[in-house]
Amino acid sequence: MKKVAAESHRDIDFSGAKRGPVIPAEPGKTKISIRIDNAVIEHFRAQVERAGAGNYQTLMNDALLAYIQQKNVIDAVRLVFREELGSPRAKPRTQKARALPA
């Protein structure tokens, strides 16, 4: 039988090989697998294409970080307003005079 070029890996000794990524992950990053709507991916890929360079996954990560930071700022502003204005005071209830049944 004729040896095919694609089978050259059969001559490689994998007995000392280690499992796992060849390149270690960046510190502070975790590789995950998630399902994203096609429209979301198309949006970020289009942004990369318009820019002429970049990575859509990096743009998605940046958008998520911006959302988190914006939410933290909004929460901080709300907290300051609550502290400065104090808790809302309940308005005293006024009772209307009722007509007595005859």
What is the per-residue pLDDT across 46-98, written as a single tens digit (0 to 9) for each? Answer: 999 999 888 999 999 999 999 988 888 888 888 888 888 876 665 556 666 66
User: Given a cut of 80, is residue 21 above it in pLDDT?
Assistant: no
Residue 60 tokens read as 């998605």
**Cβ–Cβ < 8 Å for 48, 59:** yes
The half-sphere exposure of 83 on its side-chain side, counting CA atoms within 13 A, is: 6
- State the angle between helix axes of 38-51 and 56-85 in degrees (0 to 180), rounded to the nearest 10: 110
**Burial class of residue 4 in the structure, from the number of CB atoms within 10 Å of its CB (0-12 exposed, 13-18 middle, 19+ buried):** exposed
Please name the residue that has the structure tokens 């990096």. Answer: 58
